[in-house]
Chains A and B, each alone.
Chain A
Amino acid sequence: MERERFLARVREGVSGVEAPPLPRELPPTPASDDGRPLRLRFVEELRAVGGVVELVSPDDIAGAVAAVAEGAKARAAVVGPDLGPFVKQVAEGLRRADVEVLEPNNPEGWLSTSARADLGVTGAVLGVASSGSILTTAGSGSSRLASLLPPIHLVVLPADRLVPGFEELFALLPGHLDGASSGVLVTGPSRTADIEMVLVRGVHGPGEVHVLLIEDPRRTRRRKARSAERAGPPDDSSLRT
Chain B
Amino acid sequence: MTDAILDAHGRGRFEDRAAAELAKPRLARAIGRAVDTVQERRDGAFEGYDLAAMRLAGEAIRAHTVARLDEYLGRFAERAEARGTNVFFAETAAEAAEYVLEVLGRRSVRLVAKGKSMISEEIGLNRTLEAAGIDVVETDLGEYIVQLAHETPSHIIMPAMHKSRADVAETLRSVAGGILPDDPPILTALARRVLREKFLAAGAGITGANFGVADSGMVVLVTNEGNGRMCSTLPAVHVALMGMERLVPSTRELSILLPLLTGSATGQRVSTYLSFLGGPRRPGELDGPEEVHVVVVDNGRSTLLPTEFRSVLHCIRCGACQNVCPVFRQVGGHAYGGTYGGPIGAVLTPLLAGFERSGDLPHASSLCAACTDVCPVRIPLHDHLLALRREVARQRAPRSERVAFRVWAAAWKTPRRFLWFARAVRLLQGPLALGRPRLRRAPFPLSRWTRGRDLPAMARRTFRERWGGSGGVARPERYGGGKGERANPPAPDGNR
Spell out A's residues near B (CB within 8 Å): 2-3, 5-23, 26-31, 49, 81, 104, 110-112, 114-115, 131, 133, 138-145, 148, 166-167, 169-171, 173-174, 177-178, 180-198, 200, 202-206
Interface residues on B, range: 35 or more
8 closest A-B pairs by CB: A205-B226, A13-B305, A30-B48, A19-B67, A194-B142, A140-B284, A170-B255, A204-B226
Whether the Cβ atoms of B67 and A112 lie closer than 8 Å is no
Q: Which residue of A lies closest to B250 (CB)?
A: A174
Distance from B200 Cβ to chain A, minimum over Cβ atoms (Å): 6
Distance from A205 Cβ to chain B, minimum over Cβ atoms (Å): 3
Whether the Cβ atoms of B251 and A170 lie closer than 8 Å is yes
Whether the Cβ atoms of A196 and B184 lie closer than 8 Å is yes
Asked if B66 lies at the interface with its beta carbon under 8 angstroms from chain A, I say: yes
Assuming the contacts A19-B63, A180-B278, A188-B272, asked whether A203 and B250 have C-beta atoms less than 8 A apart, the reply is no
Q: Which DSSP category, helix, strand, loop or mixed, fits chain A's interface? A: loop
Residues of B close to A8: CB separation below 8 A: 70
Whether the Cβ atoms of B48 and A31 lie closer than 8 Å is yes
Whether the Cβ atoms of A200 and B184 lie closer than 8 Å is yes
Residues of B close to A114: CB separation below 8 A: 287
Contact residues of B between 48 and 66, Cβ < 8 Å to A: 48-50, 53-54, 56-57, 60-61, 63-64, 66
Which of B33, B53, B200 is A196 in contact with, Cβ under 8 Å? B33
Whether the Cβ atoms of A148 and B256 lie closer than 8 Å is no
Whether the Cβ atoms of B225 and A177 lie closer than 8 Å is no
Asked if B123 lies at the interface with its beta carbon under 8 angstroms from chain A, I say: no
Docked CA distance A180–B256 (Å) = 23
Residues of B close to A49: CB separation below 8 A: 272
Residues of A close to B53: CB separation below 8 A: 27
Q: Which residue of B lies closest to A195 (CB)?
A: B184
Assuming the contacts A111-B200, A196-B165, asked whether A145 and B89 have C-beta atoms less than 8 A apart, the reply is no
Distance from B141 Cβ to chain A, minimum over Cβ atoms (Å): 4
Q: Which residue of A lies closest to B67 (CB)?
A: A19
Whether the Cβ atoms of B64 and A20 lie closer than 8 Å is yes
Residues of A close to B69: CB separation below 8 A: 10, 13-14
Q: Which residue of B lies closest to A189 (CB)?
A: B272
Whether the Cβ atoms of A148 and B229 lie closer than 8 Å is yes
Residues of A close to B250: CB separation below 8 A: 174
Residues of A close to B163: CB separation below 8 A: 195
Distance from B90 Cβ to chain A, minimum over Cβ atoms (Å): 8
Q: Which residue of A lies closest to B215 (CB)?
A: A174
Whether the Cβ atoms of A166 and B298 lie closer than 8 Å is no
Q: Which residue of B lies closest to A202 (CB)?
A: B192
Docked CA distance A178–B218 (Å) = 10
Whether the Cβ atoms of B68 and A7 lie closer than 8 Å is no
Residues of A close to B68: CB separation below 8 A: 14, 19
Contact residues of B between 366 and 384, Cβ < 8 Å to A: none
Whether the Cβ atoms of A178 and B216 lie closer than 8 Å is yes
Whether the Cβ atoms of B306 and A13 lie closer than 8 Å is yes
Q: Which residue of B lies closest to A50 (CB)?
A: B272
Distance from A168 Cβ to chain B, minimum over Cβ atoms (Å): 10
Docked CA distance A16–B158 (Å) = 38
Residues of A close to B277: CB separation below 8 A: 182
Residues of B close to A170: CB separation below 8 A: 251-252, 254-255
Residues of A close to B216: CB separation below 8 A: 174, 177-178
Q: Which residue of A lies closest to B235 (CB)?
A: A111
Asked if B273 lies at the interface with its beta carbon under 8 angstroms from chain A, I say: yes
Docked CA distance A190–B225 (Å) = 5
Asked if B440 lies at the interface with its beta carbon under 8 angstroms from chain A, I say: no
Residues of B close to A22: CB separation below 8 A: 60-61, 64, 249, 253
Assuming the contacts A139-B282, A181-B280, A204-B192, asked whether A5 and B91 have C-beta atoms less than 8 A apart, the reply is yes
Whether the Cβ atoms of B270 and A131 lie closer than 8 Å is yes
A-B contact pairs, 14 of them (CB 8 A): A5-B91, A9-B302, A14-B66, A20-B60, A112-B200, A131-B269, A133-B270, A144-B286, A185-B276, A186-B273, A190-B272, A191-B224, A195-B184, A203-B188
Docked CA distance A220–B271 (Å) = 33
Assuming the contacts A7-B89, A182-B275, asked whether A26 and B252 have C-beta atoms less than 8 A apart, the reply is yes
Whether the Cβ atoms of A177 and B253 lie closer than 8 Å is no
Whether the Cβ atoms of A148 and B230 lie closer than 8 Å is yes
Residues of B close to A198: CB separation below 8 A: 165, 184
Assuming the contacts A138-B285, A177-B251, asked whether A184 and B160 have C-beta atoms less than 8 A apart, the reply is no
Q: Which residue of A lies closest to B267 (CB)?
A: A193
Which of A2, A15, A167 is B255 in contact with, Cβ under 8 Å? A167
User: With contacts A19-B68, A177-B251 known, what are 6 further pairs, Cβ within 8 A?
Assistant: A26-B252, A30-B49, A182-B276, A190-B225, A194-B142, A202-B188
Asked if B493 lies at the interface with its beta carbon under 8 angstroms from chain A, I say: no
Distance from B153 Cβ to chain A, minimum over Cβ atoms (Å): 11
Q: Which residue of A lies closest to B286 (CB)?
A: A143
Asked if B312 lies at the interface with its beta carbon under 8 angstroms from chain A, I say: no
Which of B89, B192, B275, B281 is A2 in contact with, Cβ under 8 Å? B89
Whether the Cβ atoms of A177 and B218 lie closer than 8 Å is yes
Distance from A185 Cβ to chain B, minimum over Cβ atoms (Å): 4
Distance from A76 Cβ to chain B, minimum over Cβ atoms (Å): 16
Whether the Cβ atoms of B224 and A30 lie closer than 8 Å is no
Distance from A187 Cβ to chain B, minimum over Cβ atoms (Å): 5
Asked if B74 lies at the interface with its beta carbon under 8 angstroms from chain A, I say: yes
Docked CA distance A180–B33 (Å) = 42
Assuming the contacts A10-B244, A13-B306, A196-B184, asked whether A3 and B60 have C-beta atoms less than 8 A apart, the reply is no
Whether the Cβ atoms of A204 and B230 lie closer than 8 Å is yes
Docked CA distance A56–B254 (Å) = 33
Docked CA distance A12–B305 (Å) = 9
Residues of A close to B188: CB separation below 8 A: 192, 195, 200, 202-203
Whether the Cβ atoms of B226 and A194 lie closer than 8 Å is no
Asked if B326 lies at the interface with its beta carbon under 8 angstroms from chain A, I say: no
Distance from A136 Cβ to chain B, minimum over Cβ atoms (Å): 11
Residues of B close to A196: CB separation below 8 A: 30, 33-34, 164-165, 184
Whether the Cβ atoms of B141 and A194 lie closer than 8 Å is yes
Residues of B close to A142: CB separation below 8 A: 285-286
Whether the Cβ atoms of B225 and A205 lie closer than 8 Å is yes
Asked if B152 lies at the interface with its beta carbon under 8 angstroms from chain A, I say: no
